[in-house]
Structure 1
Amino acid sequence: MKYYIIAGEASGDLHGSNLMKALYKEDAQAEIRFWGGDLMQKVGGTLVKHYRELAFMGFAEVVQNLGTILRNISSCKKDIEAFAPDAIIFIDYPGFNMRIAAWAKKKGIPTHYYISPQIWAWKENRIKAIKRDVDYMYVILPFEKDFYEGKHGFPVQFVGHPLIDAVEEYRSSADSTFRERHRLDDRPIIALLPGSRKQEITKLLSQMLTVVPHFEQFQFVIAGAPSQDFEFYQRFLTDKNVAFVSNDTYGLLNVAYAALVTSGTATLETALFKVPQVVLYKANPISYQIAKRIITLKYISLVNLIMDREVVTELIQEDCNSKSIYAAFSKIVEQQGREEILQNYDILIDKLGGKGASELTARLINKNL
């Protein structure tokens, strides 16, 4: 069978790579062509376009780059037609993928959506397009099944969360050389995860670094995104107590004592590694004001959304300042604060379901072809 996969972000690259491994196990003759990143490229298949050329953050940035986005959509359609796949598999990235899904449906190409657009957060009216253009939906968050089937009468398959497998696979094979490889000392490590896009890194990393002078007993380590060059991070490496690792976030989380994390998939990854965290978010002011008026969620982190209560502190926009970060960080490095978060992480993991999300999704995709 021929599969065309579209992932437009770093998290999609991770989930896409694990899905590709599972598809190759299910179908030894599989031909896969994809939009994604380095992780997917390592598995095999043919990379059409890297996600670093696709990621635009926020409303203002999307408007500014609209011409590039429209050219990418046109290019993608032409490439799909030339490849003539048996199925298109969309991984999140809804602004782009839903346009392709509408076109593919008219062309009669089966459409499979793995990792639902977060329409439960905003743009709920997208359910009309999903019902029209998506043949099969595979969801990874427990509350999404109730949302789609109970509220909107659209059948979906809850497959569990693929990060459970990704983290467990890493931990089972991880060695003890992380500190040695990155020339770190024996102090407890604090992971700084400022995101993968230049806009969010620029806004958030400088805020994260404000706590460094107050906690000399820790070693702070920036997790460099694979989509960014080292030169971009150099301006942030002025303190001798701040180190940098590139493309080794899981290695960092595996040894971290605590973390400051940008909202997104990384909040859940940090929880699965059982690292206490503070979640930060700061966007373009225009983008934030627009988002605040149309997003009705109580929380921005996946950890709190899944638990439906505040398990980890979220510091958003004006609250994302040096004073608030210091106060929240101080709590998670103290024993009582750590223990409370870790106990809640155990409950979170139970809610996420069992192992094997990628394998189950691959089986269902093949069954539905």
Structure 2
Amino acid sequence: MKLYLIAGERSGDLHGSNLTKALKAKDSTLLLRGFGGDEMKKAGVDIFVHYEQLAFMGFVALLTNIFTIFKYIRLCKNDIAEFKPDAIILIDYGGFNRRIAKYGKKRGIKVFYYITPKVWAWYQSRAFELQRNIDRMFVILPFEKNFFKEKCNWDVDYVGNPVLDAIKSFNPDPDFGIKNRIDRSKKIVALLPGSRKMELKRIVPLMAEVVKQNPGYQFIVAAVSNLSTGLYGELATIENVKFVKDASYDLLTMADAAIVTSGTATLETGIFKVPQVVVYKMGALEYQLVSRLVKVKFISLVNLIAGKEVIKELIQDAAQQEQVNSELQLLLSDTHYRSTMLAEYSSIFKTLDTGSASENTARLMLEALK
């Protein structure tokens, strides 16, 4: 049996690799090919295009690279036609994968979607498009199942959250602190600015301002190895800042608090029980467009899952040094504030913990292909 997987981002590569391992554990004869990254390759996927060639974030970046994106959509369609898979497995990356879903449906190929596009946040009418083109949808947030049922009477599968899979299988490095010369006598603040260049460009200067106001804390940046240190700007020159690469989980096991760019990292930080504040900025034009389209109250997964504000979100004009620093002091010094947040984290964990998302999804996919 042949399967074609498509992941267009770093997080999708990680979740795609865990899904691949689960699929191969159930059927070692599977042939897998597609778009992805190093983790999927290590798991056994023949990578046709690396996701780094597709990592465009935001409306402006998408518009300026639109011809490149359409080129890769054409390449993807041609490769699928040549590979002749029994099913296409789409992993997040909505703008690209929605087009491939339509293509697969027209060619009579089964189409599975793992980690749905966030149509509940904006463009809710696209739920109907997904329903037309997807044979089976596997969602990872509890409220998504209710959304699709209420919006278009579509029964989708809630399989659990793959972030829990990754964290449960994580083995902390006992020598992490020593290797990175982390000063445990100081409070440790994790900085998670994301892995996209445009996010770094807007968030790093803000983080640097906060760091300079707090020389008594040890700030540690969760960097990624595929980005040059130069992208972290002034943070790389400040004395009480250290960098660790591809080790955010190890960092979170030691952190007293965190400043996080919205994304999967907010949920990971919550599961590691680290008090956090979320900061996010985008271009002015992009913000105006997004603010008119968004249908949800929050941007962080922690708050979305809880259905209320558990962690402070400082977005756009609210993402200023004074506000971030004020929240950071609360996170580090207010015992009641911290304990309330940690209790909410525990409730979220219980909601998400339904077993292995990767194994649940692999089982359901293979059953559907029998």
Displacement of 1:235 in angstroms is: 4.4
Query: Residues 5 and 35 of structure 2 are in contact (CA less than 8 Å); yes or no, is this contact kept in structure 1?
Result: yes
Residue 16 of structure 1 corresponds to: 16
Residue 144 of structure 2 corresponds to: 144
Residue 39 of structure 2 corresponds to: 39
Correspondences of 1:80-119 after superposition (within 5 Å): 80-119=80-119
Residue 185 of structure 1 corresponds to: 183
Deviation sequence 1:54-76 (CA, Å, 0-9, x none): 12111111111101000010011
Residue 356 of structure 1 corresponds to: 356
Distance 1:211 1:337 in 2: 20
Deviation sequence 1:255-314 (CA, Å, 0-9, x none): 211100001111101111111100011001111110000112100100001101100000
| RMSD between aligned residues | 1.3
CA shift in 2, pair 1:295/1:195, >3 Å: same
Residue 273 of structure 1 corresponds to: 272
Displacement of 1:18 in angstroms is: 0.8
Displacement of 1:234 in angstroms is: 5.4
What SS does structure 1 have at the residue aligned with 2:298?
coil
Query: Residues 222 and 246 of structure 2 are in contact (CA less than 8 Å); yes or no, is this contact kept in structure 1?
Result: yes
What SS does structure 1 have at the residue aligned with 2:3?
strand
Residue 3 of structure 1 corresponds to: 3
Distance 1:309 1:201 in 2: 27
Query: Residues 7 and 13 of structure 2 are in contact (CA less than 8 Å); yes or no, is this contact kept in structure 1?
Result: yes
Distance 1:283 1:134 in 2: 31
Distance 1:253 1:25 in 2: 30
Given the two structures, how large is their TM-score scaled by the length of structure 2?
Answer: 0.96
What SS does structure 2 have at the residue aligned with 1:199?
helix
Residue 174 of structure 1 corresponds to: 172
Calculate percent identity across the aligned residue pairs: 46
Distance 2:183 2:233 in 1: 21
Query: Residues 160 and 356 of structure 1 are in contact (CA less than 8 Å); yes or no, is this contact kept in structure 2?
Result: yes
Query: Residues 262 and 300 of structure 2 are in contact (CA less than 8 Å); yes or no, is this contact kept in structure 1?
Result: yes
Displacement of 1:226 in angstroms is: 3.9
Distance 1:68 1:327 in 2: 42
Structure 1 residues without counterparts, runs of 5 or longer? none
Query: Residues 35 and 51 of structure 1 are in contact (CA less than 8 Å); yes or no, is this contact kept in structure 2?
Result: yes
Residue 201 of structure 1 corresponds to: 200
Query: Residues 127 and 151 of structure 2 are in contact (CA less than 8 Å); yes or no, is this contact kept in structure 1?
Result: no
Distance 2:294 2:161 in 1: 23
Structure 2 residues without counterparts, runs of 5 or longer? none
Displacement of 1:336 in angstroms is: 2.2
What SS does structure 1 have at the residue aligned with 2:56?
coil
Displacement of 1:48 in angstroms is: 1.6
Displacement of 1:233 in angstroms is: 2.9
**Are 2:342 and 1:342 aligned?**
yes
Query: Residues 104 and 111 of structure 1 are in contact (CA less than 8 Å); yes or no, is this contact kept in structure 2?
Result: yes
1:309 corresponds to which letter in structure 2? Answer: K
What SS does structure 2 have at the residue aligned with 1:337?
helix
**Are 2:76 and 1:76 aligned?**
yes
Query: Residues 3 and 31 of structure 1 are in contact (CA less than 8 Å); yes or no, is this contact kept in structure 2?
Result: yes
1:35 corresponds to which letter in structure 2? Answer: F
Which is worse superposed, 197-206 or 186-195? 186-195
What SS does structure 1 have at the residue aligned with 2:169?
helix
Distance 1:79 1:249 in 2: 35
